Amino acid sequence: MIFHSAHFVTSCYRLDTLPDDEGAEVIFLGRSNVGKSSLINALCGRKLLARTSKTPGRTQCLNVFNIGDDARLVDAPGYGFAKVPVAVKKQWQSLIVKYCQTRASLRMIVLVMDIRHPLQPADREWLDSLGGGPVLLAIILNKSDCLGRMQQKKAHDQVEMYCRNARIPAHLFRVSTREGTAINELKLFITNQLSDEEM
């Protein structure tokens, strides 16, 4: 039920403007246009909570949403969007990396991929840099409604094998925000991981 109380808190372009580093946070990462914001909206049962756009690169900061009394969801800028200037890309990347490496309240990294195009070079780069660390990693293969079961399984197995070979512990979910597939399962998984925190 904690997701139903979700509300927007702030947008942060620098780490020192984030809420106090206490409680529990879950950050959502992914290439531009893979559906990060739509996933957050689906989890929270709110269509317009996180901004969605057909224009990749619209999210340009860390958008923070409160769930419960002391837990937050963080929507990060999408990566891998070619039309964003290199200097801006580096700024976003530095912000996300520093957040993931230094944020004491971070409990989970949710990495969202388009199931039709998993493990793009930028995905592999982020997996290799953030996977295997102390923070739990969940990989979301989004837009599962766009593929048949066999194709879904092929993509799932491909990502699973990559993580296994790279020794990256990860929890995989095949999700469709449009049809609601696995949303409740993911919601329960995240809630359980935050259950030790005061909500």
pLDDT along the chain (199 residues), means of 10: 88 94 95 90 87 54 90 89 72 89 95 96 92 92 97 98 96 96 96 69
The CATH code for residues 2-193 is 3.40.50.300
pLDDT of 196 reads 59
- Say how far residue 17 (Cα) sits from the centre of its chain: 20
pTM over 0.75: yes
Q: Would you list the domain boundaries of the chain?
A: 2-193
Q: Phi-psi category of 90—alpha, beta or left, where left has phi over 0 and alpha has psi -120 to 50?
A: alpha
Burial 98-114 (b: 16+ CB within 10 A, else e): ebbeebebbbbbbbbbb
